Amino acid sequence: MKQVLENVENQFEMFQVLDESGKVVNKDDLPDLSDDELKELMRRMVYTRILDQRSIALNRQGRLGFYAPTAGQEASQLGSQFALEKEDYILPGYRDVPQLIWQGLPLYQAFLFSKGHFHGNQYPDELRATSPQIIIGAQYVQTAGVALGLKKRDKKNVAITYTGDGGTSQGDFYEGINNAGAFKAPAIFVVQNNQFAISVPVEKQTNAKTLAQKAIAAGIEGIQVDGMDVLAVYAATKMAREHAVDGNGPTLIETLTYRFGPHTMSGDDPTRYRTDEMDQEWEKKDPLVRFRKYLESKNIWTEEEENQVIEDAKEDIKKAIKQAEQQPKQKVTDLIDNMYEELPANLQEQKEIYQAKESK
């Protein structure tokens, strides 16, 4: 019995393309991306790092509401999103706003989501996504359903979802991967293993040596990927996407990553549950540093280009937060209208009371 488990666990070696110094360690799986595409990936990672820094500052100024920091997880988030097609579906968790933005969510709406304004969840028609899920793991079940729908409609598209290491302990996680496996639905289940569920380390979360191996019980593909290596995450997601649209069913991708900041801006203190050594060890794996080194070795990325991206990001953010702040405040009647297609009589009565107040 012990041998069976060991045999399984030994299969889940971390998949990597670039090492920490930006050198290609796996030529066979180096993705076929043009120089322009490589630069676009870098641009998105730099932009998203700035967005994270500015979002934290705006939150502290009281200009944003709920915010879950993303620095450190850019390769996991953007490498996987870069492998998607426009008509693929994203079912994100609360930390996955960057994927939505790069799939087409206007920045000012991302800010409105943070502020708890309903317009932050009214997505453009061409953006196929649900709004960030707060209930841990719930999006995994929904993804099985969306993917099955795509299959039944003969679409050559996938539904991709994201949860964290903590999310893999939820019943919804197992229900989602099992159901999608049973129906060979075109789903991609990403687990961003950032080592902690708020303050709980992954070693206390599960006795499983990897989270990727949880795929075995569902009879689906599973792979553990270096989540600080954007090319590895891209390559794994691209493979999973092809596998799914070819009718072979879902893949579980565990990305090994780290959040450099706190869990959210609501007040946890990472120094109470993480050591400086651990932070430093992961900072050496910073996905931006590694990819920058790779691009510099190919002579396709300069400091000037990076500074330009930073300036552009700051400018966009300034405009977007202004636009978000100009959005009319939400009213009680907006809440009622957004919740109900047909109003029960008691709410109709209440709505009229509020309408009268709001029109004053």
Ligand X SMILES: Cc1ncc(C[n+]2csc(CCOP(=O)(O)OP(=O)(O)O)c2C)c(N)n1
89 is catalytic: no
Q: Which two tokens stand for residue 65?
A: 């509401």
**Nearest distance in Å: CB 70, Mg ion:** 12
> What is the x/- site pattern for ligand X, positions 297-336, by CB under 6 A?
----------------------------------------
Q: Is 162 helix (H, G, I), strand (E, B) or coil?
A: strand
Binding mask 92-121 for ligand X (x = CB under 6 A): ---x--------------------------
What is the side-by-side strand order in the sheet with 251-256? Answer: 89-91, 159-164, 187-193, 251-256, 221-226
Q: How far is the CB of 95 from Mg ion (least distance, A)?
A: 9
Helix, strand counts (H, E) of the chain: 15, 7
Specify whether the CB–CB gap between 156 and 220 falls below 8 A. Answer: no
Per rule CB under 6 A, is residue 194 in the interface with ligand X? yes
**Residues in 78-117 that interact with Mg ion by CB under 5 A:** none
Judge whether 273 counts as a catalytic residue.
Answer: yes
CA pair distance 94, 136, nearest whole angstrom: 9
Q: Kindly tell me which residue out of 31, 120, 167, 261 binds ligand X, with binding defined by CB under 6 A.
A: 167
Cβ neighbours of residue 115 closer than 8 Å, sequence gap 6 or more: 64, 65, 324
Question: Parallel, antiparallel, or unpaired: how do β-strands 200-201 and 196-197 relate?
Answer: antiparallel
Give the residue from 193, 183, 293 showing the smallest Cα distance to 247. 183
Asked whether the beta carbons of 206 and 166 are under 8 A apart, the reply is no
- Selected from 69, 166, 181, 227, the binder of ligand X by CB under 6 A is 166
From 49, 95, 128, 259, the catalytic residue: 259
Site stretch for ligand X (CB under 6 A), options 53-61, 195-203, 229-237, 343-351: 195-203
Residue 231, number of CB atoms within 10 A of its CB: 25
Residue 165 near Mg ion by CB under 5 A: yes
For residue 71, state whether it binds ligand X (rule: CB under 6 A).
no
Q: Work out which of 197, 215, 230, 240 binds ligand X, going by CB under 6 A.
A: 197
If one asks whether residue 164 binds Mg ion (CB under 5 A), the answer comes out as yes
Identify the H or E element spanning 89. strand 89-91
- By C-alpha distance, which of 251, 269, 253 is closest to 261? 269
- Report which secondary-structure segment, H or E, holds 223: strand 221-226
Binding flags for ligand X, 241-280, as an x/- string (CB under 6 A)? ----------------------x-----------------
**With binding defined as CB under 6 A, does residue 290 bind ligand X?**
no
259 is annotated as an active-site residue: yes
237: closest CA among 85, 46, 42, 28? 85
Residues in 182-211 at the binding interface with Mg ion, rule: CB under 5 A: 194, 197
Question: Which position among 263, 274, 290, 292 bears the catalytic label?
Answer: 263
Give the total of residues touching ligand X (CB under 6 A): 15
Part of the chain binding ligand X (CB under 6 A), chosen from 79-87, 129-137, 148-156, 206-214: 129-137
Which is catalytic among the residues 123, 174, 273, 354? 273
Under rule CB under 6 A, residue 135 binds ligand X: yes
Count of residues for the chain?
Answer: 360
Q: Which does 167 bind (CB under 5 to 8 A by kind): Mg ion, ligand X, none?
A: ligand X
Which of 242, 253, 63, 94 is closest to 157 using CA atoms?
242
Residue closer to ligand X by CB (options 179, 255) is: 255
Burial category of 182 from C-beta neighbours within 10 Å (exposed 0-12, middle 13-18, buried 19 and up): middle
How far is residue 19 from each of residues 22, 77, 83, 277, measured CA to CA in Å? 5, 18, 21, 20
> Which residues would be at the binding site for Mg ion (CB under 5 A)?
164-165, 194, 197
> Which residues would be at the binding site for ligand X (CB under 6 A)?
95, 134-136, 163-167, 192, 194, 196-198, 263
Active-site residues, by number, are 259, 263, 273
